[in-house]
Structure 1
Amino acid sequence: MSTVIASSPFVIGSGVDAGRSVAPRTRLRLTRRGRIVLTSLAAVPVVAVALFAGLSAVPAVAGSSSADVSFRYVTIEPGQSLWSLAESLAPTVDPRDVIAEITSLNGLTSSSLEPGQQIAVPLGY
């Protein structure tokens, strides 16, 4: 007599799973949109690191156009703004142009000034 062993996805007998059918395992499917989202999420940190490394590698040196400018220092008075400073330095010139030169010469990131602050202004005015 010979013995035949058959495999079945269902458990037969008196175990813990007796009488309960085991659901077949489903495969995870990644759609095209899912692949795009996953790739984008993986690329964001790489791009952020590349931008940060690129920006920190830029030297903090003034441009060649401002390197040739002669300047003097002016002390900011209480209530004085860049606009009033530009108008007092060059009353016949557009104040926006003077403010742009002062901002680039001093490397200012905002237009707020503090009383007593030393600001470099071009000598041409």
Structure 2
Amino acid sequence: MSDSPSAERAPLRLTRRGRTVLVSFAAAFTLAALWVDGGTGAFAGGRADHRAPSGHVRTAVVEPGETLWAIATACDPGTDPRVTVQRIIDLNGMGGDPTVQPGQRLLLPG
């Protein structure tokens, strides 16, 4: 037997407790990273982002008798009005109360 640095050593083995600590650390690190991310990444909300790309936003003033549905249909006639209505609601921060009033200025997706 030689005591040289090239002598083979036994492989490193993790005990059950060591594996538990390692997995717990990895899970805690992942959760902390998601928390720091603020929920803006791939796991945020589980629905598509309805915001328009920056620089592609128009404005409109609500006329008497107009509805959000009518505005959405006129804004983007080639798409499903439900999607456009949701994009308008998101752009204007109308989450809880999606009603419009005459004279109200709205941001419209471009």
TM-score computed with the length of structure 1 as normaliser: 0.44
Q: Which has the larger radius of gyration?
A: 1
> Which has the higher relative contact order, 1 or 2, with Cα contacts under 8 A spaced 6 or more apart?
2
Normalised TM-score (structure 2): 0.49
